[in-house]
């Protein structure tokens, strides 16, 4: 499996996790891929060789072979997938979470991207949940 294939598999693994994590910041997709390639590359080559990258096969393989996978990989896989799930949830829920701040500080602004830009420029956004959603979504 070449490095590009390994990184592609890491993206699939990171994207398809359904766990959550209570962290202040989420990992970028690039950082997630780097962490998985570093901590799980040898395990993927050893126990998941020849598997297709799609359909969650690499993640399923690592979980099924947990006893053969290094503790570092197991830990990193859990942390990375949880962080990516948190980022995706923040991106999906951002406009609902920030609706009050959007109405208050960006009332005449149209379009989600423009509203986000307005909120990022506004120093008055005081809703902790809105600020956290912006951070968790990776937009700040």
Number of domains forming the structure of the chain: 2
42 and 14 share one domain = yes
- Answer yes or no: pTM beyond 0.75: no
The answer on pLDDT for 14 being more than 60 is: no
> Could you tell me if 64 and 37 lie in one domain?
yes
Mean pLDDT of 13-26: 46
Local structure of 93: helix, strand or coil:
helix
Per-residue pLDDT tens for 22-67? 344 788 888 887 888 899 999 999 999 888 766 778 888 998 999 9
Say whether both 105 and 59 belong to one domain. Answer: no
Kindly list the distances between the CA atom of residue 42 and the CA atoms of 15, 51, 117, 132, in Å, as whole numbers in the listed order.
20, 14, 41, 35
Indicate if 82 and 31 belong to the same structural domain.
yes
Please give the residue range of the domain that contains residue 104: 98-140
**How long a stretch of residues is the chain?**
140
Using DSSP, state whether 7 is helix, strand or coil.
helix
Highest mean pLDDT among 10-24, 73-87, 113-127: 73-87
């Amino acid at each position: 499996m070449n490095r590009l294939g390994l990184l592609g598999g890491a993206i699939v693994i990171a994207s398809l996790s359904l766990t959550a994590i209570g962290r202040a910041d989420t990992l970028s997709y690039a950082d997630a891929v780097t962490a998985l390639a570093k901590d799980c590359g040898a395990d993927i080559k050893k126990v998941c060789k020849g598997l297709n990258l799609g359909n969650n096969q690499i993640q399923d393989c690592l979980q099924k072979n947990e006893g053969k996978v290094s503790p570092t990989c197991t830990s990193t896989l859990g942390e990375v997938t949880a962080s990516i799930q948190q980022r995706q949830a923040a991106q999906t829920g951002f406009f609902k979470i920030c609706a009050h701040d959007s109405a208050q500080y960006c009332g005449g602004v149209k379009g989600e991207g423009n509203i986000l830009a307005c909120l990022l420029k506004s120093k008055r956004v005081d809703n902790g949940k809105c600020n956290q959603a912006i951070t968790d979504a990776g937009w700040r």
